[in-house]
Amino acid sequence: MDKKNSTLGEFIIENQASFQYSSGELSKLINALRLAAKVVNHEVNKAGLIDILGAAGDTNIQGEDQQKLDVLANEKFIQTLKNREIVCGIASEEEDSFISINSSDERHQNKYVVLIDPLDGSSNIDVNVSVGTIFSIYRRITPVGTPVTLEDFLQPGKNQVAAGYIIYGTSTMLVYTTGHGVNGFTLNPAIGTFYLSHPDMQFPETGKIYSVNEGNYIHFPQGVKDYIKYCQKEEGDRPYTSRYIGSLVSDFHRNMIKGGIYMYPKSSMASNGKLRLLYECNPMAFLAEQANGKASDGHQRILDIQPTELHERVPFFCGSRKMVEKAEEFMK
């Protein structure tokens, strides 16, 4: 395993050979995300000082109020990726449609598309609770040299070449995978460098934490209600502890370190659940599987789902393998 004191830049270069397509583009792409993350981190950390809080007075494609910081994070990631000329297309949770990007020679030579949730959990920003960015990278499937199409973005999660998240918390961390395990890097704010702090991250096989918005309990399917009751029952190593931050990145990050299950089921209010398959569930599912965990919609593997639209929602159960399998049993 690489030395813990290696920087993210060094780690990317050292591990470039393990990428399936080792042209250096994927490395440059992760570097661009690292740069944008530092800019957004700076804005998130000063959010309490300046008027960057509150709604921007606009709603996104999902009809949710856009927070000012959402808009800023969205702009920073898109701008950074565009400027570096390393992607041929971007889809963001904050944009109605995907963005096609020309390279300066107008020949559409770039091979990767990025899907991004620029600021996950942003309703927590003004109460000083951790928020995050989630990203997902695919190799395009339409011919290089042509503009990207919707087809390039509507790929099943198993096609991802890289995915990760940035968590803006007590410390800022970038956690990512390229299909060879999961590694976490912590930002040293004094010098602006990410260092490898969490090599080879793994979900414990089982855990004692369940994360679900129990305020929606009455609206959940019976199988989910039964599983929650199972978690609360005094028996064996139970009852489990309930921990729900309401910021997917934070809940996932804690459960990966401590062992647990995160659930956002469908309900009578949201027939497909609330989380977006392309921007949230697929990247988190890829990370979970690379970290010895499991991710499902309650019945099937998340990474096998064929998306049909850009902002599609799915139920989501993710975390320690045995806990997800137990939840699926109750869902049958």
Q: Are 82 and 74 in contact (CB under 8 A)?
A: no
Place of tokens 């499991």: 294
297 in a known ligand binding site: no
Q: Is 115 annotated for ligand binding?
A: no
Dihedrals phi, psi of 111, to nearest 5 degrees: -115, -10
Q: Is 120 annotated as a binding residue?
A: yes
The answer on whether 121 is annotated among ligand-binding residues is: yes
Token pair for 324 = 């997800």
Confirm whether residue 229 is marked as ligand binding.
no
Measured distance CA(186)–CA(191) in Å, rounded: 12
244 is in an annotated binding site: yes
Count how many residues are written for the chain: 332
- Which among 127, 153, 124 is positioned nearest to 140, based on CA atoms? 153
DSSP per-residue letters across 24-90: SHHHHHHHHHHHHHHHHHHHHHTTTTTT--SEEEEE-TTSPEEEHHHHHHHHHHHHHHHHHT-EEEE
Residue 43 annotated as binding site:
no
Q: Tell whether residue 280 is among the known ligand binding residues.
A: yes
Radius of gyration of the chain (CA): 19
Residue 274 assigned as binding residue: yes
- Is there a contact between 157 and 318 (Cβ–Cβ < 8 Å)? no
213 is in an annotated binding site: yes
The verdict on whether residue 119 carries a ligand-binding annotation is: yes
- 3-state class of 178 per DSSP? coil
Please enumerate, by residue number, every residue annotated as part of a binding site: 93, 117, 119-123, 213, 244, 274, 280
Which parts are annotated binding residues for Mg(2+)?
93, 117, 119-120, 280
Could you list the residues known to form a binding site for substrate, using ranges.
120-123, 213, 244, 274
